[in-house]
Structure 1
Amino acid sequence: WCCISFNAWHKKGRKEYCLYNNDNAACRFGSTIGLIGFLAATAFLVLEAIFQNLSSIKLRRRAVLMDTGFSATWSILYLIVFGYLGIAWGKADYPYLGNGINNCRAAIVFSFFSIAAWGGCAFLAYARWQQGADMTEFTSGFDP
């Protein structure tokens, strides 16, 4: 998300405009999806680290279900971001001195890679859900 947040804006006088065809919504949408995805990935990483210490089976099942749902949703949202940024970039004029071109292109490519990354996370979370269907994955690792 940093490619968009910091480098997809061009300052002309006192006003900043988005390099994606002067469409500020394209820059904001890509930045928002990227930032929320980064924060959620960090939260899911922490949740994964403490997963075996969660004592409630219901809590473990909800954690895996949340991971599956969020990852699948974010994969779809990154597909939308990829299309939106790609179309906006295709309509954009060449920036002054080529300033920010590589950052805009990198944001489009990374949003494409994020589709597969979040889709893979959703698949692995769903596989974990299927393994836990017999409740062995969700039971605690110690005998009471």
Structure 2
Amino acid sequence: MRKAVSILQELSDHDWVHFLLRPQIIARTLAGVFSLIIFVSLVAEGYQNLTTSSELHCILNDNGAACSYGITVGVLSFLQCLLFLGFDVYEASITVHKFKYAILVLDLTFSIIWTCLWFVGFCFLANQWNREIHHYLLGTSAARASIAFAFLSIPCWVYLAYLALKNLWAEPPVPYKRTLDEGSVALTTLSSTTTTSLPNNMGYSENAGAPSYPSTPVPHRLTFMHTDD
């Protein structure tokens, strides 16, 4: 028992455990799993045929646009989750401020976009499923799963957008940080130059306060001697 407890304590102190327990990683993983379930369900059982025909139809009111929408958005959402999970893994090794700031901006932008897309997708898929008039032998579970996980994807992407906005506010913008860096360098250079340019001993002459005038040469005067005649 003590050995098991010590193993669990060692695992809890591991960096990967702390990484996996981060709220952003949990939310992004859930969003990726939900997207995977949606497009896999629609690809596997989203198209069925009637007993009277061998032609495949979308189980969502025979509307091929509904199935295509769920599959397309699900695939793109899943790929984006994988991409940004890779950025999260190498976040500590990213030292270029411009690149890190651009990732945060893209994360916020795409999170807002996917929130809107999944909201539209949930409304669209649910509406088409309610209008369905045919009863297929298969595909009912796939339709319900796609609608349910489309709804669950909305709070995940809202939370990811909130975390991205929070991280973006905590990160100073690129021009502001560059200006501060340049200002500190300029002040350091100016202070060092001023210190080194001043002489160690500054002596003042006694007549330092007296005004100095240019000296003009005094001309020689000719004197005439009067002689008595």
Report the TM-score when normalising by structure 1: 0.87
Correspondence for 1:89: 129
Work out whether 1:130 is the aligned partner of 2:169.
Answer: yes
Which has more helix, going by share of residues? 1
Which residue number corresponds to residue 194 of structure 2?
none
Residue identity (%): 26
Structure 2 unaligned regions, length at least 5: 1-38, 178-229
Structure 2 residue aligned with 1:37: 77
SS class of match (1:55): coil
**d(CA) in 1 for partners of 2:161 and 2:139?**
33
The 5-angstrom pairing of residues 13-24 of structure 1 reads: 13-24=53-64
- What does residue 106 of structure 1 align with? 145
Q: Which residue type is aligned with residue 33 of structure 1?
A: V
TM-score by length of 2: 0.56
The answer (yes or no) to whether the contact 2:48–2:136 under 8 Å persists in 1 is no
Query: What is aligned with 1:11?
Result: 49
Number of aligned residues: 135
Could you say what secondary structure the match of 1:96 adopts? coil
Residues 48-87 of structure 1 aligned to structure 2 (within 5 Å): 48-87=88-127
Alignment partner of 1:34: what SS? helix
Q: Deviations over 1:18-64 (max 9, x none)?
A: 00000000000010000000000000000111112122100000001
Unmatched 5+ stretches in structure 1 = 139-144
Q: Secondary structure at the match of 1:133?
A: coil
Higher mean C-alpha displacement, 64-73 vs 8-17: 8-17
Change (3 A) 1:79 1:90: same
Partner AA of 1:10 in structure 2: Q
Q: Is the 8 A contact 2:119 2:154 kept in 1?
A: yes
Residue 141 of structure 1 corresponds to none
Flag the structure with more relative contact order, 1 or 2, with Cα contacts below 8 A and sequence separation at least 6.
1
